[in-house]
Amino acid sequence: MDMRWLSCSRPLLGVCTFFFLATAAFLGHVLLHNLAVVPRKLHGFSQVPKETYRAHQQRASGPGPQSCPGTASTQCNVPPNSRFDCAPDRAITQEQCEARGCCYMPVGWPRGSQMGQPWCFFPPSYPSYMLGNLTPTDMGYTASLTRTTPTFFPKDILTLRLDVLLETESRLHFTIKDPKSRRYEVPLETPRVHSQAPSTLYSMEFSEEPFGVVVRRKLDGRVLLNTTVAPLFFADQFLQLSTSLPSQHVTGLAEHLGPLMLNTSWTKITLWNRDIAPTPNVNLYGSHPFYMVLEDSGLAHGVFLLNSNAMDVVLQPSPALSWRSTGGILDVYVFLGPDPKSVVQQYLDIVGYPFMPPYWGLGFHLCRWGYSSTAIIRQVVENMTKANFPLDVQWNDLDYMDARRDFTFNKDGFGDLPAMVQELHQGGRRYVMIVDPAISSSGPAGSYRPYDEGLRRGVFITNETGQPLIGKVWPGSTAFPDFTNPKALDWWQDMVAEFHAQVPFDGMWIDMNEPSNFVKGSLDGCPNGNLENPPYLPGVVGGTLQAATICASSHQFLSTHYDLHNLYGLTEALASHRALVKARGTRPFIISRSTFSGHGQFAGHWTGDVWSSWDQLSSSIPEILLFNLLGVPLVGADICGFQGNTSEELCVRWTQLGAFYPFMRNHNDLHSLPQEPYRFSEMAQRAMRKALTLRYTLLPLLYTLFHSAHTRGDTVARPLFLEFPLDPRTWTVDRQLLWGEALLITPVLEAGKVEVTGYFPAGIWYNLQAVPVQPLGSLPPQLPAPLKFAIHSEGQWVTLPAPLDTINLHLRAGHIIPMQGTGLTTTESRKQPMALAVALTLSGEARGELFWDDGESLGVLERGAYTQVIFLAGNNTIVNEMVHVTSEGASLQLKKVTILGVASAPQQVLSNGVPVPNFTYSPNTQTLDIPVSLMMGQQFLISWS
């Protein structure tokens, strides 16, 4: 680990340098052992952007703080893109700006920017904290930070403690706290490391005054984090930490609607979970304060601020980023990668790897707000079956409830709901229903057990009088469970178990858990205090923290709602996960609207109340990709859209794309036209059926990818840049997606199009249309002339035919994917024989994997109740290697192997040494199709010559 100490920010630089070098030499020998102590002016900034470096020099040699920097033009000579806002809290006049000790220069609004450049900005000499008492520890370093001049925010904390932890080779962790008073910290369980890493991919430098941290990548000296670019703020309700960025290619900071790569031209992202239909430039349902930067060299790093308070994150073109939080502490992780895939895994090492969904959860789900009786649902299921559409999970929105109250069902349309769910089970299907967190409080005592029991146990969020805060949601007056309270976890578990004893449901859809509230704060309003009216208000929709939710000042077990609001969905997901394990004894299935970092450990996510529009179809791809990068791979958008009426063409194209969402559900609104697949023309139905058949055929691949996500922190759906970080043309691609490493999906996202252009990274990409989607089927007729069977790409854009019945799928050379015969449910499809699609490289090699278990049991890895097989191709042979085999999966039949990229017709094909007489070879597509009769769980060798 290398560390440099940057100092000397006063005049008399030569004297300072001499004194500093002498002191540093002594400290380096006696205290800091192997730390490189270098005077700030002399070394170590070759990679810092020029304007940042210039600011350093001005700060090092310029005058001290001044009351009116407008008189010192050199202090205000900061390039516009490098200006940091000195009036983040409100619009102020020049006089007010200069009274803050800041520079005032009006500028025009940059074209294409969400927000303007700051008119009032910090001069380089603006007072900040000073570093002192830097001391080595077992884990890294500790130091004190002191500020002598208060800021313009109330309740500055003038003395802070810095702890730097060199946790692993690729992970740096530092915290800035109040050493005298314990402040709220996010109650997320993170890894504890007890000794510092013996070697690291990063080096550190500290600036003494003004305090700052500089983190470099040792490999190339690139500065990844440089907090000296703007002053540090740490007041009671305003914390700001700014850093330069080494590149403008930044992703993360969910949840927002927009491209995968963020715009660094004056963009503000607000994190305060909110019930609002997906709209650009507003705070949406979830908060994930993590970003990843793709560096110009193809390397990548990530930064995670573990802070759950309301915050803004501001991006500016220098490029730079500022975190502005309204509370908590600064708890920062830096992940060195060095590649994007490693950054994701290192982030998930902190927040947790995704849960393993049940196999049936990867099938097709169907819902509608407006299924108002069991008779209607039975008819829907029958219609799906008659039309030969797969359906694994039938859902209910609010319609099933009695007076829209949780853990009830109405006796009019749903009197026989338990019997209907049993019928679904008998047909190999599952049932999931909506559960909102808000509990009806309006009935007389003794009339509604969840509320009565919750009151008795004291599980609800309370107001300033200590009584349950009462808001208004679907059932009317409601109280809100406090899922940070252990008593509430037990109460929720009991309510889930009691309802499951009546209605044997299979999963939970937890909605409205931002938490949403139809009144502002509560029915009685909110106290007029600093928690409701903080000195800094992030850019929240509605202009107040209590808009569409409960009072920020309300009390929870761990802290105030002001601190815990963004964790509400996460804590409900944890409570529901725990309850389902207890009630069902099998793998939980939960889909949640509100999320926070770490959500993927417990639940999946759907992207909320999207409109039936082409824009929202295309914007669903970056959202699905982003949540995979954030460790929530079980994610999808409402297919065909939730709000508004879909068109037939839109619904077909959305079903095609939705077949490759990790979570696939068609759901729409009570006020919109029904959009079940069987509602459309026969031509549209054929196209949708083809898409669903593709998904069900590929479910073994999808399940294996989820196993890799669960055990290794991989993504399931992933952006191209994750596999091809050295190709800058992949970095902004967010209208295509990959399944794992192997399968490239290029959907049509515009109306009236019968072709689509996609980017193909360098390599060979085989058109999966030439592979029989039914493993026992025969090869389709020869492909149409314009359709290329294989794309030999050097890294280029390719235009592909895409008639209405087609979504383009390409299999990457070097990979083997498992496939399976289909059925109308996964209960059926899991019994079907399997096939392998083998995509050879020019050297004739490929590799693949299959993970298989019973699809729903808990603890299969711990008990060894699974089968895992590796497939290898090379030298005209295909073999399987048994990683682990048990009875579950050992008897899977392999009936067909399709090999892509066989240059010439084989004379002979052998399966375990026995000639296969009825193989077929297509010279046009260079495809070898081999019927076999093998077992996946027994070693085999297939060869051709």
Give tens-digit pLDDT for 726-776.
999 999 999 999 999 999 999 999 999 999 999 999 999 999 987 876 655
pLDDT tens digits along 98-157 = 999 999 999 988 888 889 899 999 999 999 999 999 999 999 999 999 999 999 999 999
Task: Name the pLDDT band for 17 (thresholds 50, 70, 90).
Answer: very low
Helix (H, G, I), strand (E, B) or coil at 735: coil
- Which of 85, 349, 511, 532 does the annotation list as catalytic? 511
Instruction: Work out the average pLDDT over 603-631.
Output: 98
Taking residue 573's Cβ as centre, other Cβ atoms within 10 Å add up to 30
pLDDT tens digits along 789-836 = 999 999 999 999 999 999 999 999 999 999 999 999 999 999 999 999
pLDDT recorded at residue 63:
28
Helix (H, G, I), strand (E, B) or coil at 501: helix
Q: Of 591, 817, 803, 781, whose CA–CA distance to 694 is shortest?
A: 817
pLDDT recorded at residue 112:
82
Residue 343 has pLDDT above 80, yes or no: yes
Asked whether the beta carbons of 197 and 223 are under 8 A apart, the reply is no
Q: Return the percentage of the chain with pLDDT > 90, whole number.
A: 89
Asked whether the beta carbons of 276 and 282 are under 8 A apart, the reply is yes
pLDDT tens digits along 164-174 = 999 999 999 99
Instruction: Work out the average pLDDT over 480-494.
Output: 98
Sheet with 470-473: list strands edge to edge: 439-440, 476-479, 470-473
User: How far is 436 from 478, CA to CA, in rounded Å?
Assistant: 11
38 Cβ neighbours under 8 A, 6+ residues apart: 4, 5, 6, 24, 44, 205
Helix (H, G, I), strand (E, B) or coil at 240: strand
User: How far is 611 from 857, CA to CA, in rounded Å?
Assistant: 36
**pTM for the full predicted model:** 0.93
* Active site (annotated) includes residue 255: no
pLDDT recorded at residue 774:
62
Residue 553 has pLDDT above 60, yes or no: yes
Taking residue 296's Cβ as centre, other Cβ atoms within 10 Å add up to 12
User: How far is 429 from 391, CA to CA, in rounded Å?
Assistant: 7
User: How far is 774 from 832, CA to CA, in rounded Å?
Assistant: 10
Instruction: Work out the average pLDDT over 828-852.
Output: 98
pLDDT recorded at residue 61:
29
> How many degrees, rounded to 5, is the angle at CA 360 between CA 662 and CA 588?
90
Instruction: Calculate the average pLDDT of the chain.
Output: 92
pLDDT tens digits along 682-738 = 999 999 999 999 999 999 999 999 999 999 999 999 999 999 999 999 999 999 999
Residue 215 tokens read as 């983190």
- Which of 85, 255, 397, 514 does the annotation list as catalytic? 514
* Active site (annotated) includes residue 511: yes
pLDDT recorded at residue 73:
63
Residue 506 tokens read as 């299979």
Residue 397 has pLDDT above 90, yes or no: yes
Q: Of 172, 22, 649, whose CA–CA distance to 7 is shortest?
A: 22
pLDDT recorded at residue 528:
96
SS (H, E, C) 325-386: ECCCCEEEEEECCCCHHHHHHHHHHHHCCCCCCCHHHHCEEEEECCCCCHHHHHHHHHHHHH
686 Cβ neighbours under 8 A, 6+ residues apart: 805
Q: Quick check: bond before 338 cis, omega within 30? A: yes
pLDDT recorded at residue 564:
99
pLDDT tens digits along 264-285 = 999 999 999 999 999 999 999 9
Q: Helix-strand-coil percent breakdown of the chain, rounded to 5?
A: 25, 30, 50
pLDDT tens digits along 350-385 = 999 999 999 999 999 999 999 999 999 999 999 999
Of 5-9, 324-328, 400-404, 614-618, give the lowest mean pLDDT range. Answer: 5-9
User: How far is 343 from 883, CA to CA, in rounded Å?
Assistant: 27
DSSP state of 843: T
Q: Is 936 exposed, middle or buried (0-12, 13-18, 19+ CB in 10 A)?
A: buried
Q: Is 429 exposed, middle or buried (0-12, 13-18, 19+ CB in 10 A)?
A: buried
Strand partners, 590: 508
User: How far is 573 from 580, CA to CA, in rounded Å?
Assistant: 10
